[in-house]
Structure formats: structure tokens, C-alpha cells
Amino acid sequence: MNNEVRMLKPEDVFSFFDDLCGMPHPSGHTDKIADYLVKFAEDRALDYKRDERGNVIIYKCSSENSRSTEPLILQAHIDMVPNSADYANIDFTKEPIRIFTDDDFIRTYGTTLGADDGIGVAMILAVLNDKTLSHPPIEALFTTDEEVGMLGAAALDASFLNGKRMINLDHESENLLVCGCTGGSDVHCSLPVKREERTGIIVNISLSGLIGGHSGLEIDKGRANANILMTRLLLALHKEIDFGLVSMRGGTKETAIPAECEVRISVYPTVFGIIENIVKSCTDTFKNEFSGVEENINITASEGEFETSDVLESSSLDSVLKVLAAVPNGAFEFIPELPDVVQTSSNLGVLRLAKNNLFFTCCVRSSVPSVLDWYCRKIEIIAEGFGGSSYKDSGYPGWMFRKDSPLQRSVKEAYHSVYGKEMKVSAVHAGLECGVFSEKIKDLDVVSLGPDVFSVHTPFEHLSISSVERTYALLKAILETV
């Protein structure tokens, strides 16, 4: 328990938040929090449901003076990303998150804070706990395992909910009302390749130093994709020299822009100088193309042993280079009403050349379901065109941006009354649970908001105290008007 935190205003919100920090709750380990929520409901004689997946719903009747009998769903997720600096030495499944206040912030000792989404949970508990508030009937929905594929939301039986309007409290920027998100699918492709023996000098080419980042939220930042740059380098080499491709490997995660890619090629001993020149010229070209964004592009070529190895047959090398050149990568369309928000993107995230196959995965996102399907199909067709096959995972649904809705209007009015200015409305190019609920609950009117949280999912995550106070005031004002 941290008494300093518990005394911050609003006290209820910060006391519940401190309780949550005291209970370990990384994804997959949220039973303690679910027990806590059940006890919270029982102690206050509130109806509740807990499903097999660990999701909890707590129901609270409307206050006597409420204007509305139409239920409002308040939603947050109860799991957190466990990430820590080496020095923190923490077991997230057993130990609490140690927190302290620092000026306007709550910080940790080198771990994630879990303000994503503990602060959303704490605000909802404060609403449920407060007998003085004016509010419609509330269905408080706490979901599990959002951070590992929105598993709780996906498994939820929506018949537990009667509301047709929902406020998701899992956003991390106080002045922005989120009214749309993307759906996404990973398309896993496999291209059969044939190999033959070749004797020559092995050259290792390594491309590194790229920024990388989140393949949704950061796809519009103009960053380079290591798998694409390496493909271009190999195409440049292919034009000038005869080489055999031994191995190729780039990226670590579908959802991350790859920052590194490595290949091994087999060549005649005399061409190393030409390779060095091509590497140098490609490096200059890439530095020029990405100037102001990627300042540390580093490509090295080093000579290895003279040996006999299995390299791709020439026709397989051709197919591999062409398929990688053809797959769509980067940000494409933008949302018409929000020209600075990406609507559709694809990230050639992971690439592996195995003995008999080239495997690669594109993480495709779009806020328009039919466009998502179209881009996934495009990639499938390209893979098939080169003799390969593909598999699209079930993915997660999007939430198409709506410029206006009754709930948006109420939130904007409440925001204006609290802040004296207009609330900005936008959409995010990433998946949110709102997409899952929009699919499950017909005609759901949903928005997402939350206080300022910084460096989310990193050991430096911190939460603005004053932003929580204002956001909670906003939430109370919304409850009075809806």
C-alpha cells in the first residue's frame, strides 16, 4: 500500500488504483483481480457475473435522479503488459508493482505501471462505489487478456449486456475522443524453394540500425522496413553478379516494423569488391530516401569461409526476390474524414528462408472490413502467383470511424462543460476491444477515452495525476448527461 498515492485526488480512484498495483495481474494471471472485483460487488450488494474466461460484469441500477433508463456500459481490461528493465528483477506473477509519486506523475521502479488499463478499472470502480453520483444504469465490464489478442473480449457472451452504448476507458490521451479503430489479420505465406550445391566464398550481409516500432500506430512515420531494404539490396546485387542465396532472416514479430535483416550468399571469390560497392551505393540511396527519419541505417558485408553449401536454384531465387518485391508494405489509404489517420496498412514483419520454403508474414490492418479482406486477398494472390500458398488467421474486427453519434455528442458536451473547449475526435490505426464489441453488439454506440499515460508497455510507463483528476471529472459529467 502506498498511502501517498491513496491520498491523491480523487481519493477513491487512486485508492482502487493502488489496490490493483498491489495485486499481480499480467495477461494470463488475472484471477486475483477477478476475485477482488467479485468481492467488491458482493460487499456492495451489486449483481455481478464472472465467466469462464475471467471476465467480470458488475451491474449498478440508475441513481434516483437519473435522466435515463438506458444502460451505459463502462469497460476496461484487467490485464497488463509485464515489461521491466534488467535492474528491476521482478516476478510479475507474484510481486506487486512498486509505485511512487514524482511531481505530477505516478512512476515505478523500472517496470510497467499497468495504468494501461488499471486506471480505467479504478475509475469504473470509483463510479460503482460512489452513492452520490447521478448516472444511468451501469454495466461495468472488466475484460481479461486484452494485451495478448483481446481474448477476454472475444470470448465474452454479449447477452450478459443490455446496453447499446459503451465507454471504453483504455485510451491514453486525455484530450482525444477515439471513435474508430482498425481490424487486422496476419497473412502467413509459404513459397516452396529448390536448392542445389554450390562452392564459393560465403558473404554475410547484415542490415541494422533501423528504428522499427509498432506496425499499426507507427506505420505512418515513414520508417524503413529492413526486410524490404534487404530485398532491394539483393535485387541490386542480382543485376550485377551471380550469387547463390543460402539464408535470409528478418524481423522478430508480425506486429513490429522489422529493424534488422541478415542474409548469407555464396559467390565467386573475385566479386567481393563489387558487393562492397553495391552495399555502399544502396546504403547511400536508403539514407537519402529516409533522411530525417532513419539516421542509423547500417549495412555491412563480411567475407566468410570458402565452402560448399545448399543455395537456391536460380528460378527459386527469382521467385523469392519477386514475391518479396511485390507484397504490399507500408501505409496506403487514409480515412477520408481524418486525412492524418491511416485507414489501411501492411507490414512485412517476419521473413525466414528455410531449407525447402520461404516463409513470410504480412500484418494487415484496415478500419474498413472489406478493404482489410481485399488487401489480405491481394497478398494471397501474389503468393499463389509465385507457386506459394497462404493462410490468413482469424484476426480481430475493426470499428469503422463514425463522425457523429448520440454518445459522441454527449461526451463532447460534457467535455466542453468541464474544459471550456472542444474535444478532438479521431481514430487509431490499431486494434481495440471496441472493434470486438461493435461486432458482437448490434448498433453499439461506442467511444474510447482516458487520462494521459506515457511510455505505455515500457519500463518507463507513467501516469499523469492531474490528468486523472480531470478525466474523472469528465466521466462524472458524462454520466450526468447520458
Q: How far is the CB of 42 from Zn ion (least distance, A)?
A: 27
**What residues line the site for Zn ion (CB under 5 A)?**
116-117, 170
Q: How far is the CB of 132 from Zn ion (least distance, A)?
A: 29
Q: How far is the CB of 88 from Zn ion (least distance, A)?
A: 21
What are the Cα distances from residue 59, in Å, to 56, 71, 221, 418?
A: 10, 10, 42, 27
Listed residue (321, 350, 202) closest to 271, CA to CA: 202
Whose grid coordinates read 555491412? 300
Residue nearer to Zn ion on the CB measure, 71 or 118: 118
Residue nearer to Zn ion on the CB measure, 115 or 327: 115
Q: How far is the CB of 149 from Zn ion (least distance, A)?
A: 13
Q: How far apart are CA 28 and CA 24, in angstroms?
A: 11
Q: DSSP H helical segments within 395-440, as ranges?
A: 406-419, 433-440
- DSSP structure string for 26-89: BTT--HHHHHHHHHHHHHTT-EEEE-TTS-EEEEEPPPTT-S--S-EEEEEE--B---B-GGG-
Residue nearer to Zn ion on the CB measure, 12 or 116: 116
Q: How far is the CB of 218 from Zn ion (least distance, A)?
A: 17
239 burial via Cβ count (<10 Å: 0-12, 13-18, 19+): exposed
- DSSP structure string for 216-237: TTTTTS----HHHHHHHHHHHH
DSSP 335: E
Q: How far is the CB of 117 from Zn ion (least distance, A)?
A: 4
Residue nearer to Zn ion on the CB measure, 116 or 145: 116
Residue nearer to Zn ion on the CB measure, 169 or 379: 169
Q: How far is the CB of 144 from Zn ion (least distance, A)?
A: 12
Residue nearer to Zn ion on the CB measure, 226 or 436: 436
Residue nearer to Zn ion on the CB measure, 76 or 228: 76
Q: Which helix (H) or strand (E) holds 118?
A: helix 115-129
Q: How far is the CB of 71 from Zn ion (least distance, A)?
A: 23
Residue nearer to Zn ion on the CB measure, 8 or 80: 80
DSSP 270: G
Q: How far is the CB of 460 from Zn ion (least distance, A)?
A: 16
Residue nearer to Zn ion on the CB measure, 169 or 331: 169
**CB-facing half-sphere around the CA of 143: CA atoms within 13 A:** 30
The percent helix, strand, coil of the chain (3-state, each to 5) is: 35, 30, 35
Q: How far apart are CA 94 and CA 401, in angstroms?
A: 40
With contact defined as beta carbons under 8 Å apart, do 194 and 313 qualify? yes
